[in-house]
């Protein structure tokens, strides 16, 4: 059963803690992305990766970090430097980064709440 | 600044009725426009993707139209079902790639029996 999985579905963090959100895909896609979704706003790009061991900052990368050690995995760490981390986080993938007509496939999301 | 505006923000219709959602964009250059459906608490699912040369594309009861001259798109839902209750997001892509997408804020559609 192909697709993108994210875990956990819900995550609670105390202020000052780092947390890592998992994203795994078995679609054999080269490109992967992390977005943040807030009420009343469109999705905003945090980081993206075109290939293993390579990733680029998106529009709102401050306070976040990523790694891409394997093609199928793209974990996102929300650090204590992120001042307003409470949001719905979505991971996505596509066959390639550079082809603009490639459909992005999204995971089910992780809702992060800071206590 | 690239922008995508959707209207209405929310819409309530009776089951079985048709509806049309609007999307206006100022993204330039323009490569393609996508419509996604997002159920509450879930990730978006692709409905259609249209390039500048396509005027219409259908996916079952969903039909998207595109007017690249006026920079407008619409998503028409025919014979609505309760399962159509969701947010519908318009996304516009410039020529460069998937890292430059501009997302609209969505239209929240509620179907009532």
A103 interfaces chain B, CB cutoff of 8 Å:
yes
Closest CA to A107 of A13, A15, A4, A1: A4
A19 interfaces chain B, CB cutoff of 8 Å:
no
Q: Does the pLDDT at position A104 exceed 80?
A: yes
Query: What tokens were used for B15?
Result: 């089951």
B-chain residues near A7 (CB < 8 A): none
Q: What is the mean pLDDT of residues A96-114?
A: 88
pLDDT in tens, B58-69: 999 999 999 999
Task: Say if CB B68 and CB B32 are below 8 A apart.
Answer: no
Instruction: Look at A5-14, A56-65, B70-79, B90-99 and tell me which has the smallest mean pLDDT.
Output: B90-99
Q: Cα separation of A92 and A108, whole Å?
A: 9
Buried b (16+ CB within 10 A) or exposed e, B51-61: eeeeeebeeee
B-chain residues near A45 (CB < 8 A): 99, 101
Q: Cα separation of B52 and B72, whole Å?
A: 11
A101 interfaces chain B, CB cutoff of 8 Å:
yes
Closest CA to A58 of A94, A80, A79, A34: A34
Q: Cα separation of A52 and A50, whole Å?
A: 7
pLDDT in tens, A64-75: 999 999 999 999
Q: Does the pLDDT at position B95 exceed 70?
A: yes
Interface of B with A in 60-89 (CB under 8 A): 89
A30 interfaces chain B, CB cutoff of 8 Å:
no
pLDDT in tens, A9-52: 999 989 889 999 999 999 999 999 999 999 989 999 999 999 99
Q: Cα separation of A92 and B54, whole Å?
A: 25
pLDDT for A2: 62
């Amino acid at each position: 059963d192909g697709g993108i999985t994210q875990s956990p579905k819900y995550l609670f963090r105390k202020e000052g803690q780092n947390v890592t959100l998992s994203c795994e895909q078995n679609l054999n896609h080269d490109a992967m992305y992390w977005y943040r979704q807030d009420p009343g706003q469109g999705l905003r790009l945090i980081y993206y990766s075109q290939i293993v061991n390579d990733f680029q900052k998106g529009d709102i990368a401050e306070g976040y970090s990523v790694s891409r050690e394997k093609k199928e995995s793209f974990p996102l760490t929300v650090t204590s430097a992120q001042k307003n981390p409470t949001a719905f986080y979505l991971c996505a993938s596509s066959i390639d980064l550079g082809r603009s007509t490639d459909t992005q496939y999204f995971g089910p999301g992780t809702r992060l709440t800071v206590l | 600044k690239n922008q995508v505006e959707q209207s209405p923000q929310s819409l309530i219709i009776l089951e079985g009725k048709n509806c049309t959602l609007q999307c206006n964009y100022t993204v330039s250059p323009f490569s393609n426009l996508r419509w996604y459906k997002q159920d509450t608490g879930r990730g978006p699912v692709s409905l259609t993707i249209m390039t500048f040369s396509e005027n219409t594309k259908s996916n079952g009861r969903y039909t998207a139209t595109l007017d690249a001259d006026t920079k407008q798109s619409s998503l028409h839902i025919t014979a609505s079902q309760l399962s159509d209750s969701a947010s519908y997001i318009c996304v516009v892509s410039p020529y460069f790639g998937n890292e430059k997408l501009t997302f609209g804020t969505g239209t929240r559609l509620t179907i009532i029996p």
